[in-house]
Chains A and B, each alone.
Chain A
Amino acid sequence: MKTAKKLGLAVAVATLGMGMSAASMAEEVNIGFSGPLSGGAALYGENVLSGLRMAAEEINANGGFDINGEMHTVNVVALDDQYSPAQAATNAKRLIQESEAPAIFIPHSGGIFALMDFNVEDDFLIMAYTSVPTITAQGNPLTLRIPPTFDGYVKAFTDYAIEEYGTKLAMGGATHEYAKIWGSMIEKAWEAKGGEVVAKNPMDYNKSADFFTGVSKLLAEDPDVMFVGGASEPTGLVIQQARQLGYEGAFIMMDQAKIDEAAVAAGGLEPLENTVGVVPLSTDESEAAQSFIKRYEEKYGKTPGSEAAYNYLAMHALVEAMDMTDSTDPKTIRAAMNDAIAQMDSSKNPYAVEEIDEAGGFVTMPTMSVVKDGKIMEVTF
């Protein structure tokens, strides 16, 4: 019992010490992050965070950034929300009160919507990593959307697939909110193009032990194209199992899943033949992208995905804006973001984002790629 008390005291002292040391370093600007860092989606959250950390370390290695003549460093304060919007809101409150973070990165739409309820009142910037179009349609003045919205993909993927592969579509997407919105938009676009939705059987990608049953139900209707998508890895499994069940048609892959990552789970690119999806970062030939991939691989020992790259460039843009305006005030930063993006060195901008639109969306060209003869080919549209 005595040891337990002593231990408790030691922990208390250590925590206090940590708190004091954080407060005494005034030359540091905290940037918040709330995302899944444990549980089934931990990998996604970690990938986002890795991009943010990498940008912060690059900035700090160069001596930080300048606010009114004083050099400041960036510190990423990361809290785990396990994908829960309620926990994300609690985390945001902690990040603004304890760490005085002027901006919070958050990589899931549920949490973003929760934070948008109070971010103007509490005065902090939401760095939203989601492609749900309604995020920027709400007119929240302190929200920035980092990736492109998915409505561009929906149209491009539908047009391509219906012309190349046939008119019968089976819906085998995941059941979370994001996938449902995507799915319903695909259905609408498909039918508007004159196609037919022959089967609908959404599956819980995160809680299903097996997809054999769900996929066989879709295949019973003999579709030409199957809509799939959730996280990359279970999406790869769905594709693999469809092939095992003798499916020879094409796939439309929701943008949450990446072709290269899904291929790892499916055991190679071969099962993914005729899959239409977004261009994976690893096949982006541009110099900025390649330079980022190289630096990321050196640091983390694995190939980065788009979530690392987008958040990396957003962090650089955010700091650039603080540096330009000599301010950490969220409104001032938001106003300067467009100029900051334009001024930013291309090595910090792997997706070549050129500007930020009125509503706060980063403007990136939507891209599309198709797996053909075992290779990922970029398709222009």
Chain B
Amino acid sequence: MTIFLQQVFNGLTLGSIYGLVALGLTLVYGILHIPNFAHGALYMVGAFISYFFMVDIGAHYWVAMAGAAVVVAVLGVVCERLVFHPLRNAPPIHDKIAAIGILLFLEALVHMVWGSDFRRMASPFGGVVNLDGVFLREQGILIIASTVVLVVALNLFLRKTMVGATIIAMAQNREGAFLVGIDANRVAMMTFAISGALAAIAATLYAPLNLVYPAMGHLVIMKAFVIIILGGMGSIPGAIVGGMIIGFAEAFGGYYISTAYKDVIAFALLVVILSIRPQGLFAKGAH
């Protein structure tokens, strides 16, 4: 039983991080129809900015997280203004190429500024709670709690505020949204800002369990794409549920079968789910 509960906790921790990263990706895709391959790079930049605030400036963990969220949100908006906005009438392939360009640019930039060293970013929550043989890392508990809070907050923002409603409107029907006078530019910038902030927060939450280095985004971005396909492109509950499915598949598959097969299990699940629901778990219809 302790082993089972241990894997539940591991799965929840991993699933929360995957879910948060996938959430930002799915927002941008659902609302602007851009497959943002650079999202993993934004995640990585978020971790480096937090590291910079914490280690070089000496800011507190929470301050560093807020700082990174703001910086990466601005970076997301800059990407939208400079790259994706001018491409809004171009064929969809141009968005994809541009996103890969941003990915390469950001990685090279971080590599140039910080070098390729692995850096350790210790959070104030480094302890381990031993619950009768189940080891809960404080940082893991923090990750799960933060994810719940962020998802609830995001939902409230989208459902209960006027600004959020404009974003939902854009996602549901672009032309309709224009007709009632919704400012597409504002929505686009807002979406990128939220997506960037989520990536930075996810990175700051996760970095203390892992290390900070320029290639760290690769670990999560492939999985995030799998998750949003699994959950349904553009679906918010899909991103969270998809993240949990992959997280649990890794934890349980890794324990009860073999760590070597954990990706096989996750991708086999993807194939099974897509063959039953080709549009993904939560998508209303294929785009």
Contacts and interface: CB of A to CB of B under 8 A. Distances in A.
A237 B122 CA distance: 12
B251 A213 contact: yes
Interface string A123-147: 0000000000000000000000000
B254 A265 contact: no
Among A43, A201, A212, residue most surrounded by chain B Cβ atoms (within 10 Å): A212
Chain B interface: which size bin?
35 or more
A39 B215 contact: yes
A40 B213 CA distance: 8
A381 to B, nearest CB: 31
Interface stretch (B86-94, B110-118, B233-241): B110-118
Interface in A227-268: 233-234, 237, 244-246, 264-265, 267
A217 interface: yes
A42 B211 contact: no
B209 interface: yes
Given A42-B214, A209-B17, A210-B13, A216 B116 contact: no
B117 A175 contact: no
B111 A42 contact: yes
A265 B118 contact: yes
Contact of A217 (B120, B218, B254): B254
Interface stretch (B3-11, B58-66, B151-159, B185-193): B3-11
A210 B118 contact: no
A116 B135 CA distance: 49
A217 B260 CA distance: 12
Contacts of A209: 14, 17, 206, 210, 219-220, 223, 250
A207 B130 CA distance: 28
A267 B208 CA distance: 11
Contact of B10 (A204, A212, A264): A212
Contacts of B251: 213
Contact of A175 (B220, B255, B260): B260
Nearest to B259: A214
B120 A267 contact: yes
B150 interface: no
A361 interface: no
Contacts of A267: 120, 122, 126
A117 to B, nearest CB: 29
B211 A265 contact: yes
Looking at chain B's contact residues, the main secondary structure is: helix
Contact of A210 (B210, B213, B260): B210
A202 interface: yes
B149 interface: no
Contacts of B215: 39-40, 42
Contact of A237 (B10, B111, B116, B211): B211
A213 B254 contact: yes
Interface in B193-214: 206, 209-211, 213-214
B272 interface: no
A298 B122 CA distance: 28
Nearest to A200: B258
B116 A246 contact: no
B259 A217 contact: yes
A233 B211 CA distance: 8
A178 to B, nearest CB: 16
B10 A210 contact: yes
A49 to B, nearest CB: 11
A202 B220 contact: no
Contacts of A38: 107, 111
B259 A43 contact: no
Contacts of B81: none
B128 interface: yes
Contacts of B174: none
Given A39-B215, A40-B218, A46-B116, A202 B260 contact: yes
Nearest to A231: B118
B85 interface: no
A120 to B, nearest CB: 34
Interface string B255-269: 100111011000000
B210 A237 contact: yes
Contact of B258 (A42, A201, A208, A234): A201
B178 to A, nearest CB: 31
B16 to A, nearest CB: 12
A203 interface: yes
A4 interface: no
Ranked nearest first, the 4 interchain pairs of A and B with the lowest CB-CB distance are A233-B118, A42-B116, A213-B254, A214-B259
Interface of A: 38-40, 42-43, 46, 175, 201-204, 207-210, 212-214, 216-217, 220, 233-234, 237, 244-246, 264-265, 267, 302
24 contacts: A40-B215, A43-B117, A46-B115, A201-B258, A202-B259, A203-B260, A204-B259, A207-B219, A209-B210, A210-B14, A213-B10, A213-B251, A214-B254, A216-B7, A216-B10, A220-B3, A233-B211, A237-B211, A244-B128, A244-B137, A264-B118, A265-B118, A265-B120, A267-B122
Interface of B: 3, 6-7, 10, 13-14, 17, 107, 111, 115-118, 120, 122, 126, 128, 130, 135, 137, 206, 209-211, 213-215, 218-220, 223, 250-251, 254-255, 258-260, 262-263
Given A42-B214, A213-B255, 8 more contacts: A207-B219, A210-B14, A210-B210, A212-B10, A216-B10, A220-B3, A233-B213, A246-B135
